[in-house]
Amino acid sequence: MSNTLAPWLLPDGYGRPALAALLREGTVVTEAGRFAVRRSASRRARRRTPVAARAAARRAEPVLLIPGFLAGDWTLTAMAGELRARGFRTYRSRIHANIGCTLGSALALEARLEQIAERRDARVQIVGHSLGGMIARGLAVRRPDLVAGIVTMGSPMRAPAAHHALLTRGVRVLNRLSDAGVPGLMSADCVAGECAHLSFTESQERLRADVAMTNLYSKRDGIVDWRACIDPDGTAVEVRASHVGMALDPRVIDAVTTALLGRSAAYDAPLAVVDTA
């Protein structure tokens, strides 16, 4: 493994996906098409529904969505729209590109959580994709008074370095730019120093009993080792999707909805493994 990342970020038992695994990410085209078909059907159904019956019942807890590495809020626009249509109050992370220090991002998101919780007078549920889920895990440990539950999608919390070598190259580029003086980028300390150690340690701590966690993972993930996405404190739910496609596949959105409803104080629905074959 490249020395760009600290060796303890890849514990024994986990590995980095092979180069050929990246080919599985090509199914994102199919997943995008599946989303387009679902949305079209939903719009037709909505037009046939009387206006007075269109409004979905509002859920009790707000939902914050956090994008993955190199991504921004725009990558979760499709999911946010679907969740709003189902009655959830969704909020953006205000991350334009998730390329900065993880601890710095966590601090900014903590302030965002405080703002949302105060506005809605309720603890917040968090949905995080990839790195976003790892950040959500740390926030849930640090501020259980603000976080009601989290849903992670393809987030290798148990082994943050168990990802494709292509991502490591991206990290290396950010480190070099940071060393050159470009502000706001992930530095070497964020992936191999004290900053990385603090982030990793926090993400391994036990969650408070009243903070629910669901871990969505896919054995078709071409970016991260799916085994690293299963946390002993959470409920593991397998889906069939590419890593990138988790953000828009309607079957994954259904799984996210089920997880959120399982925690919602207003809607007590049991959480079951979702078959997306």
Q: How do residues 64-85 score in pLDDT, each as one tens digit?
A: 999 999 999 999 999 999 999 9
Which range is least confidently modeled, 44-48, 96-100, 107-111, 131-135?
Answer: 44-48
Write down the pLDDT at residue 268.
43
Structure tokens at 65: 């969505």
Rounded to two decimals, the pTM is 0.89
How far from 204 is each of 136, 209, 215, 263, CA to CA, in Å? Answer: 12, 15, 14, 22
Instruction: List, for residues 82-105, the tens digit of each pLDDT value.
Output: 999 999 999 999 999 999 999 999
The CA-to-CA distance between both ends of the chain, in Å, stands at 34
Mean pLDDT of the chain: 89
> Which amino acid would we find at residue 49?
T
Predicted confidence band of residue 272 (pLDDT cuts 50, 70, 90): very low
> What is the distance between the alpha carbons of residues 251 and 236, in angstroms, rounded to a whole number?
16
CA distance 138 to 153: 15
Closest to 62 (Cα-Cα) out of 139, 121, 145: 121
Residue-wise pLDDT tens digits, 2-38:
468 899 999 999 999 998 889 999 999 999 999 999 8
What is the H or E stretch that residue 102 is in?
helix 102-120
List residues bridging with 64 in a β-sheet. 91, 126
Token pair recorded at residue 143: 């501020």
Q: Contact at 8 Å (CB) between 24 and 220?
A: yes
Q: Can you point out the beta strands (E) in 7-163?
A: 63-66, 90-92, 124-129, 147-153
How does residue 195 score in pLDDT terms, banded at 50, 70 and 90? Answer: very high
